[in-house]
Chains A and B, each alone.
Chain A
Amino acid sequence: MTAARQARVRPSLRHTLVDILERFGVLILAVLLLLVIPFTFDMFRLGLAAKYLCFAFPAVGIVLIWGYAGILSLGQGMFFGLGSYMMAMFLKLEAAANPDSSSGTALAAFFGAAGLPDFMVWNSVEKLPIWWEPFHHVWIMIPAVVILPAFLAFVLGYVNFRNRVSGVYFTIVTLSIAAIMAIVIIGQQGYTGGINGITDFKTFLGLNLDTDQAKIVMYYITVLLLLLAVLAGRFIIRSRMGRVLVAIRDQEDRARFSGYDSAMFKAFIFSVGAMFASVGGALFTIQVGLASPSLVGIVPSIEMVIYAAVGGRVSLIGAVYGAFLVNAAKTFFSENFVEYWTYFIGALYVFVVMFLPAGLAGILKKLRGSDSRRAGSKTESN
């Protein structure tokens, strides 16, 4: 390692520290998330941390698809939303099957619509739509969360990339689809819960989600899946595929003439990013108790890109810190100055682009000083 060699030449404390941070990035993150946060945060803050970490999933995916493959998607909210809504449908059906679970379902049962989600009853929907039916089963819902958005992303990506729709044009396609999805969800109130989203569920497979125990278990599941996503991303980046993706990002024509089906590679990494976003969405819904169109459209999708930009667009671990810090700032700001939040996040983005193009990960690099590593590109940094 160049870093190690340099540390030996100039063994200053600063360099040693940065070196440790870089080499053991995943381990440090794991210790922070698995030990430090659960033992120092109270239940309320642990819940917030869990929520922030759900947003780290799409951010890690964005590092792969934007940082490494150069595909800027402003529509990751749609995949986050797909995971979120699929989980919500399952939880809602479980709540509806149990009239004692909430006042809404009890009232629905009173009106002779037992088993139907309460918002459908209010909207005079008399029969469960056929596409809700599979979500009675957890063994359909969980694979669907993992596979369905990935599959849709693959098809969307391949069709576009194959026809040489890329760069800003592909960005516009993703942006439009995210907007359309939010509009459809809001418009189809009887089937999707509309602007209110889907909410008011208490149990998952009969387990009460409101207990401290359930919350702690869900927090740990979230952290473990997030670390798994980071490690999977790292495996991809360090494989030959990682170099092929950078090659496609920097010189797509040459990659084609080196014999690579670049559309296939881009569609693949796009679908991996979609899968991460969807898992994050599902975990969000089970912990926050809500699936909402406000997490699907353009604004949340752009926020997800900002998490990755703040962390450093080629740093998987940076994306986790980026998502966590930006969301913590959002909580702080919206508690204190609600109306300025959107200005703040806009200013933050401009600041990062102008002064910290490599994000938080870039600060580490600067601290260590310039060395022979290639600037801001393929090199994976923590």
Chain B
Amino acid sequence: MSEILSVTDLTISFDGFKAIDNLSFSVDRDELRVVIGPNGAGKTTLLDMICGKSKPTHGSIRFKDLELSNMVEYQITRAGVGRKFQTPSIYQDLTVFENLEISSPEHRGLFGSLFFKHDRKTIERIESVAEAVSLQGELHSPAGTMSHGQKQWLEIGLLLMQDPDLMLLDEPVAGMSARERALTAELLKGIAKGRSLVVIEHDMVFVKMIAKKISVLHQGRLLAEGSMDQVQNDERVIEVYLGS
């Protein structure tokens, strides 16, 4: 399998503190990768650098044929990287429909957006995405009034509208009930068909549901990588993370 994302010698330093320290890491096409690690391991910072929210101090981030470390957020998004944040980041004042519509990838330029009229095809796409994230009944409710779990799903829906080749999900089940977690696990497995996913998660039950390959970060470095069993039996991992 070929690599879709390859991070080499990546370092980011905040006033001398290296949140990510010389990290190399890669993700294959169509892979679902879970990243775990104790608090402060640099998981979120890693995603921030991939999607352009933070600029690395040095190192390279290759995505397909592009060097992402030289690009800004909207260019990275247009290249096919989608990012979901830890706290749901949606447009509270717009309806679910408008949230999804705004995320559809056509006409994101200045004049395109001024003269854009959504056609039947876009509406159908919005409806099918809403169904995928179980929000088909909420299309015209304001996004701000929904439950926390629904907001999480809506944000995943926003990414689905963009149809990215690589999705970065930061704790997608935080604050969800057990039932919602199980539904989300199914959802992610479905989404993972035909694209790559990087998921940060703390909840080991959820990780077991979705993970094939796990990367463990610790103090900005890659500590271990492998299947659930390999990682769980790795002594260094047990020491810093699971054993605690």
Contacts and interface: CB of A to CB of B under 8 A. Distances in A.
Contacts of B17: none
Interface stretch (B107-115, B174-182, B193-201): B107-115
B92 A256 contact: no
B214 to A, nearest CB: 25
The size bracket of the interface on B is 20 to 34
B78 interface: yes
Contacts of B95: 374
A256 B71 CA distance: 12
Given A241-B110, A258-B162, A246 B91 contact: yes
B93 A378 contact: yes
A36 B105 CA distance: 47
Nearest to A249: B93
Contact of A259 (B53, B101, B108): B108
- Which residue among A253, A256, A259 has the maximum number of chain B CB atoms within 10 Å of its CB? A259
A138 to B, nearest CB: 30
B82 to A, nearest CB: 7
A147 interface: no
Contacts of B72: 256
B54 interface: no
Interface string A117-147: 0000000000000000000000000000000
Contacts of B85: 253-254
Contacts of B25: none
A244 interface: yes
A244 to B, nearest CB: 6
A243 B94 contact: yes
B98 interface: yes
A239 B115 contact: yes
B114 A251 contact: no
B233 interface: no
A268 B112 CA distance: 13
A225 interface: no
Given A241-B113, A243-B98, A259-B162, A254 B74 contact: no
A258 B74 CA distance: 7
Interface in B94-145: 94-95, 98, 101-103, 105, 107-108, 110, 113-116, 118, 142
A374 B113 contact: no
A84 B53 CA distance: 42
Contacts of B98: 243, 378
A247 B110 CA distance: 14
A261 B89 contact: no
Interface string A242-272: 0110110011011111111110110010000
A247 B91 contact: yes
A258 B103 contact: yes
A70 to B, nearest CB: 11
B90 interface: yes
Contact of B93 (A235, A250, A258): A250
A240 interface: yes
Contacts of B74: 256-257, 259-262
Contacts of B77: 256-259
Contact of A257 (B83, B101, B116, B142): B83
B109 to A, nearest CB: 8
Contacts of B118: 240
Contacts of A264: 110
B236 to A, nearest CB: 34
Interface string B38-79: 000000000000010100000000000000000011100110
- Which residue among B51, B89, B118 has the maximum number of chain A CB atoms within 10 Å of its CB? B89
Contacts of B51: 257
B158 interface: yes
A254 B92 CA distance: 11
Contacts of B115: 239
A177 interface: no
A114 to B, nearest CB: 48
Interface in A4-55: none
B144 to A, nearest CB: 8
A352 interface: no
B12 to A, nearest CB: 18
A312 to B, nearest CB: 16
A236 interface: yes
Contact of A246 (B89, B93, B101): B93
A119 B48 CA distance: 60
A377 interface: yes
B93 A240 contact: no
A268 B110 contact: yes
Interface string A284-299: 0000000000000000
A374 B82 CA distance: 28
14 contacts: A236-B114, A239-B115, A240-B114, A240-B118, A241-B113, A243-B101, A246-B94, A250-B91, A251-B91, A256-B74, A258-B108, A259-B74, A259-B105, A259-B162
* For the complex of A and B, 9 pairs with smallest distance between CB atoms: A377-B93, A256-B73, A259-B77, A241-B113, A240-B116, A240-B113, A254-B89, A258-B103, A259-B78
Interface of B: 51, 53, 72-74, 77-78, 82-83, 85, 89-95, 98, 101-103, 105, 107-108, 110, 113-116, 118, 142, 158, 162
Given A256-B73, A257-B73, A258-B162, 7 more contacts: A240-B107, A246-B93, A257-B74, A258-B102, A259-B162, A261-B74, A378-B93
